[in-house]
Amino acid sequence: MPHELLVQQGAPLHIGATGMESLTQNIRIIVITGAYSVPFDREFAHLYDMVDSPAPHETIRLAAQLTEAIEKYEPRVKVESISFEAAQNNTGTLMEGRLTPRIRFRLREGVQL
């Protein structure tokens, strides 16, 4: 059964999360964390080298990097697709030039939550 996660910055972190909440929280942390920002694991997450790049092919490259990072650091999931939507602020106003990833994933075979 596929699941979807719209990754929004600023969502609260729940210490002690379990089940699907834990899994989606882990994915969100992977997506919003840039490589080299974690002191004892410099390769954690993904590179932010495409920030401010206007080229449409950069979103394809970002989707590939996010897929690789998610599947590496959250091995319980298989990413099916990543799309991007215009980001919105707290009041629902579109934030020009910012994208929010929507991640569609499945649990890998044998994974029980």
pLDDT at 51: 57
pLDDT tens-digit readout, 89-113: 766 666 666 778 899 999 999 999 8
pLDDT at 21: 95
Amino acid at 40: F
pLDDT at 97: 64
For domain 3-107, is the CATH number 3.30.1490.20?
Answer: no
Q: Which residues of 23-44 are buried (b: 16+ CB within 10 A; e: fewer)?
A: bbbbbbebbebebeeeeeeeeb
pLDDT tens-digit readout, 18-69: 999 999 999 999 988 877 777 777 677 665 655 555 566 778 888 898 999 9
Percent of the chain at pLDDT > 70 equals 79
